Chains A and B, each alone.
Chain A
Amino acid sequence: MALTSFLFLILLLCTAVMYYVLPCKVRFLAILLANGFFLFKCNSILENAIWLAEAALVYAAAYRTSVSESEKESRILTFGTVIVLAAALILMKESAFFGIKDFGVAPIGISYYTLSWITYVLGAYWKTGEVQKNPFKFLAFAGFFPILASGPIVKYEDFGKEICDGVKFSYDNIKNGAARIAWGFMKKLVIADRIALFVNTVYDNPYRYPGLFIWVANAFFIIQLYTDFSGCIDIALGAGEMFGFKLPENFNLPFLSQTLEEFWRRWHITLGGWLRDYVLYPILKSGPWQKITAFTKNKFGKKYGKKIPTWLGLMISWFLVGFWHGGGYNYIFGVGILFGIIIILGEALSSVFDKVNKALRINTEAFSWKVFRVLRTWLFFGTGLSFFRAGSLLVGFRNLKLSVTVFNPWIFFTGELWEMGVDRTEFSIFVFYMAVVIIAGILRAVTGKSIRELLKEQNIVFRWIIYAGLIYSVLIYGCYGSGFSSAAFIYQGF
């Protein structure tokens, strides 16, 4: 069940009504029921059995760990559970890496809930997270349906208490949640699914559409991926808000980043944060790594000696970012190792760049220089993404070659670009709504407030004109498939 499907909206509405009709204490039952329905619609019986078995293991291990007096028992339970969860994820989702054909069996959102559940179990072991003793309340949290399919990756502390104790009815929560959902629908159905037609046409046939076609398609793919994924997150977070839960944000205006490193702190934030806390930090803090650090400090001096082991740890994390996306080498290279290399090179050569900038008398405080840095970040990100979209590493390199060996600037004048599935009218709609998203982003960057917060400060008439416009836009300009369901979210595939 896609988050943009009609069925999802019905489910959300019914759940919200049931949730607020029930007394606070038992409101989690409404969520639990909806979780069950969502899982039942998305998974096969086998997948549901796997999901439930994993959930039972996580619940039992965390509960036992929280009451156990024996450190050894807690440790074995915790790390045993983490290994089982990770192995299940790798086996069912990343098997491509080992050259094994996909089994075709994987509970929905396994890439997301696995990470959330690992956080939960480790929190119990480290005594830094809360543990839910009631198994039904745990299931309401662990399977919270709006975030099952594509995240964000959550901690129990994010909304566990609220989901288990129930939240008082608030008109503002409903209204703001609904507005955010409508915003997400607009991003996904009006922008992402519209421009996808162009992207698909080029990527399905790059020999016919080489050179600048690929550049344009790649630029559109960046927009498509952002509006698709962030739209999906808007819907999930908006749904959470309707129940009074504040889920963690996954995006923070990533396209204003001046460096690739900054970009990744503002794009898919919960994945980056998870890898930092649960992969990078433990690696860097481990005994062997400390030994390497001591060795490199001796060899290369304090400054670089400290950095080399950190870079090694970073490369492992970047490998895992790519690996998490599906185990294919195009992901591991395109959205993993390549970014790691660019970021590390940037840091290693920073003193050289500083000298060059000085020699060329570049004013690094100038607005134009900042714009250049932002555009450069887009180029890096876009290059990596072209591998993501290509489907395989070889195709990615072939497309890259086709994009630089053919120079065809006339395509901008011959009208060929209008024959790629998005004609002039469709393209104007796309441009208009992209402008809306960009203006909203700029307003947020300047005022520090989201578009919804800004709207709250406006008069009720103006506010409702905007809300109505948003809903009208989705209904009229949304790209629907059969049965009022849109194309699947890109990040639902992971």
Chain B
Amino acid sequence: MTREEAYSKLNEVFRDVFDDESIEVNDATTANDIEGWDSLEHINLVVAVEKCFGIKFNMGEVAKLKNVGEMMDLILSKIG
């Protein structure tokens, strides 16, 4: 899967979790850019990402993510 393909899938996940069809995420997107992305919604997002890509994050990784770019790097490294 290319980064672009993964991003289009990830976009869908974000739109579904945050109930906002206008969301477009990129490498630099952080929690501050998306309304409702607080520390609690973060877990719902992570679980939805896991389901969508068929991967598992460990808790250390979950807490460490700083922006969507880092999340994407992690996703791509996991789906190999």
Contacts and interface: CB of A to CB of B under 8 A. Distances in A.
A360 B38 CA distance: 29
Contacts of A277: 59, 63
Output the residue of B40, B44, B64 with the most chain A CB within 10 A: B40
Interface in A98-146: 122-123, 125-129
B24 interface: no
B47 A127 contact: no
Output the residue of A122, A128, A280, A306 with the most chain B CB within 10 A: A128
Contacts of A281: 42-43, 59, 62-63
B47 A128 contact: no
B39 A278 contact: no
Contact of B59 (A278, A290, A310): A278
Contact of B60 (A126, A276, A284, A310): A126
Contacts of B63: 128, 276-277, 281
Contacts of B72: none
A276 B38 CA distance: 12
Contact of A127 (B39, B43, B60, B62): B60
A290 B43 CA distance: 10
A356 to B, nearest CB: 22
Contact of B47 (A123, A126, A129, A290): A290
Contacts of B59: 122, 126, 277-278, 281-282, 285
A306 B17 CA distance: 10
B43 A129 contact: no
Could you tell me the dominant secondary structure of chain B's interface residues? helix
B58 interface: yes
Interface in B13-57: 19, 39-40, 42-44, 46-47
A302 B36 CA distance: 14
A354 B59 CA distance: 35
A228 to B, nearest CB: 28
A128 B47 CA distance: 19
A128 B64 contact: yes
Contacts of B39: 276, 280
A310 B40 contact: yes
Given A276-B39, A290-B47, A306-B44, A285 B60 contact: no
Contacts of B73: none
Interface string A264-285: 0000000000001110111011
Contacts of A302: 19
Could you tell me the dominant secondary structure of chain A's interface residues? helix
A128 B61 contact: yes
B61 A285 contact: no
A302 B43 CA distance: 15
Interface string A180-207: 0000000000000000000000000000
Nearest to A274: B63
A476 B59 CA distance: 50
Contacts of A276: 39, 63
B43 A126 contact: no
Contacts of A303: 19
Contacts of B62: 281, 285
Contacts of B44: 284, 293, 306, 310
Closest 3 A-B residue pairs measured CB to CB? Answer: A126-B60, A128-B60, A277-B63
Given A126-B58, A128-B60, A302-B19, 16 more contacts: A122-B60, A123-B60, A126-B60, A126-B61, A277-B63, A280-B40, A281-B59, A281-B62, A285-B46, A285-B47, A285-B59, A285-B62, A293-B44, A306-B44, A310-B40, A314-B40
